[in-house]
Structure 1
């Protein structure tokens, strides 16, 4: 019997000032090839991420950082999720994540952190399982 559950909807985003987009584009393709719907945007303010997530009814937000600022930006995304009463929406962070940034990202509520070299299969499975859990399908 085929799986009739809805396809996971994923928002992938990076700062508009970050010109490095090869990794996030590769992840977007891998998620799409794994039968997920992917919305890919650049953002100006962390609030923009939450606005698009709500408009697109996504199951997971994935944020790429290649130029720093990951802790402050992620904390602002979580504050906006809380303000908009969707604090349970999972957030995944990836990119150039320094080891000393991992604890504050985890403390903020990040569900998964992928640093350079993470196996693509792990990334895809993480998005899939977080999406299913968010939709109550796990």
Structure 2
């Protein structure tokens, strides 16, 4: 029997100055293969992420960081989500996340943090679970 629920819509993004894109491309393909619709962008300003998320009606945002700045950027994105009245849209962070950045990311409301080496199946399952839970509330 086929699931009649809409496919989860995912926004994956990284800074345009971060040239490392192998991991985010791998995640995008895995999510697509798991029957999710994936929008993949590079952003210039953190506010751009929220603009695209709203335009694309996504159920979850995945932020990739390989070059630092994860706490400050994520704080700005979460603040913009609150400003635009979508504070419950789940945000997931992955990449090169330093151990001392985990607590500040969790404090700002990041729902899951994937540091290097996380099993791909866990990443896919988390995105699916969070996206479907968000969609069921809106």
With normalisation by structure 1, the TM-score equals 0.98
Residue deviations 1:92-119 (CA, integer Å, cap 9, x gap): 0000000000000000000000000000
Are positions 1:95 and 2:95 aligned together? yes
Cα distance between partner residues in 2 of 1:128 and 1:92? 12
Q: Distance in 2 between matches of 1:70 and 1:135?
A: 26
Q: How many residues align?
A: 137
Q: Determine the C-alpha separation between the residues in 2 that align with 1:109 and 1:25.
A: 25
- Determine helix, strand or coil for the equivalent of 2:136: coil
Residue 136 of structure 1, CA deviation: 1.5
The alignment status of 1:57 with 2:24, answered yes or no, reads no
Q: Which runs of 5+ in 1 are unaligned?
A: none
- What SS class does the counterpart of residue 89 from structure 1 fall into? coil
**Distance of 1:82 and 1:117 partners within structure 2:** 31
Aligned residue for 2:121, secondary structure, equals helix
Give SS of 1:10's match.
strand
Structure 2 unaligned blocks of 5 or more: none
Alignment-derived partner of residue 125 in structure 2: 125
1:32 corresponding residue in structure 2: 32
Q: Would you identify which runs of 4 or more consecutive aligned residues in structure 1 move more than 2 Å? A: none
RMSD: 0.7
TM-score (norm: length of structure 2) = 0.98
TM-aligned CA deviation for residue 135 of structure 1 = 1.0
